[in-house]
Structure 1
């Protein structure tokens, strides 16, 4: 049995913090990304609601945020984090930069997924008199479900890496555990343990994502 030098309660807390940060920020970020991706698809030059100004603004904002490395983004928006949650440090405070990071990332993935939908389906929906909302709700999103699930899976894995960096602002989690109790104290067994845990977590998420994506595509 390898001695990790950390109480089991601390390991469990770190795991809970990581899960909390990943899935709460993923949930909020996914909702924002769905909205933004639909706006981009509908208002692009080939969309059914062409609007150059809205498309350029949303597209530019998404590109700008995506171009900023997470560690820099996290520090840059500390004032916004303070304004929203009342503190710059802690697990809850990390949700703000995580959402800002993942929303544009998922927006691009969702946009590509929706653009893959056969245009004939949209034309058929319009011919049946479907409204723009109905086209999105009953045709575009359902047809893109398999690809959207894989996009969320990819985003989740990206968030796991981001939560590790969020340890720099005292966010807790497995990453912070590895940094504070592993690296700084030269505790190699603990660092190895956290790496293995993260690998298992990532592989599990990828497997689940692939399963549901394949299942949806078959239907």
Structure 2
């Protein structure tokens, strides 16, 4: 018997999944809001956490990061109808233990959860192939655009909304050095003009050079 937390804002799916898991002698605690779930999960100490990827008050990706910061060791499983495998890829990179499509039958889902409970990472074969293509594309883009580690650091900080002075302080370099790396960064990404910072971040996100 496992103690399982489900976080999903769709009430009908939440109730149906709860019944399915309870019929297998699991103890199930449900939340329809990640914000409500987050402060309680560490005390619950579940064996598994099942969550939707897209929820209105907090995305699954942000929730996975928050659970990591709270040092919650429970395996996180993404249950979603999404077909944007870039987000699934990001969820796995952030520490999710698996992805189960909501289209799965109850029997297939239970089998996948059993695999995850045994310590495996579970991803359907067609999703795994798509994720592999995404990872390979990211590596090719990094090679094509020849961004240095320092340029990538600065790009990520720009994405966080940091000003040049803050970037300089965080990286322990001068503002002139920040501007030097920015110039090379904008040249490599082929962006220019007064909105270069925004253009660079948008292009880098699309190419997978930085992640949300």
The TM-score, its normalising length taken from structure 2, stands at 0.30
The structure, 1 or 2, with the larger RCO (C-alpha pairs under 8 Å, 6+ apart) is 1
More helix by share: 1
The structure richer in strand per residue is 2
TM-score, reference length from structure 1: 0.29
